[in-house]
Amino acid sequence: MGMKNLSFLAVLSLLALTLPLAIASDPSPLQDFCVGVNTPSDGVFVNGKFCKDPKLVTVDDFFMAGLQNARPVANVVGSNVTAVNVNNLPGLNTLGISLVRIDYGVNGQNPPHTHPRATEILYVGLGKLLVGFVTSNGDGNRLFTKTLNEGDVFVFPEGLICYELTYY
């Protein structure tokens, strides 16, 4: 085999070894923000909502009040979820985050659910919770569970089945 062929083979081998190491991530946003609106006359369609004209955006598009108020928990699951998402805080549109306040009664629960496009972070403000999630990769669907106390924080990875329930 000639020197030229060996050089070509060496370069080809090096490329074959390095290509699987490519790193991927979500693309950077195309704009600073995309305040969500429902009407096409107000902007450009992005991520399920129309973007409000940036010249019409105000600080109130990034603000929501009232999350400090507890909600009634007299229902079948013993909890009440107050969601903060693009529908009541339009500035969240395209940011890939949302927030909830969950009020729990005795034996209250947030039944198993998923967040297919976002990670969930839970903060315990009062009481004690048993929380967990189930993996979905080839490790046999492992259960990760933990008892949380006041002031604790727990993260649920994106897209995994998770749950919370009061623990007394």
Ligand-binding site membership of 110 (annotated): yes
Rounded Cα–Cα distance for residues 104 and 118 (Å):
23
**What's the Cα-to-Cα distance from 115 to each of 40, 42, 89, 98, rounded to whole Å?**
27, 29, 18, 10
Buried/exposed 125-138: b ≥16 CB within 10 Å, e otherwise:
eeeebebbbeeeee
| The length of the chain, given as a count of residues | 168
Question: Could you tell me whether strands 79-84 and 49-52 are parallel, antiparallel, or unpaired per DSSP bridges?
Answer: unpaired
Q: Known binder of ligand: residue 150?
A: no
- Which residues are paired to 132 by β-bridges? 145, 163
Nearest of 133, 79, 74 to residue 110 by alpha carbon: 79
**Region of 11 on the Ramachandran plot (φ > 0 left; ψ -120 to 50 alpha; else beta):** alpha
Residue 115 marked ligand-binding: yes
Tell me the binding residues: 110, 113, 115, 120
Binding residues for Mn(2+) are 113, 115, 120
Residue ranges for the binding site for oxalate? 110, 115, 120
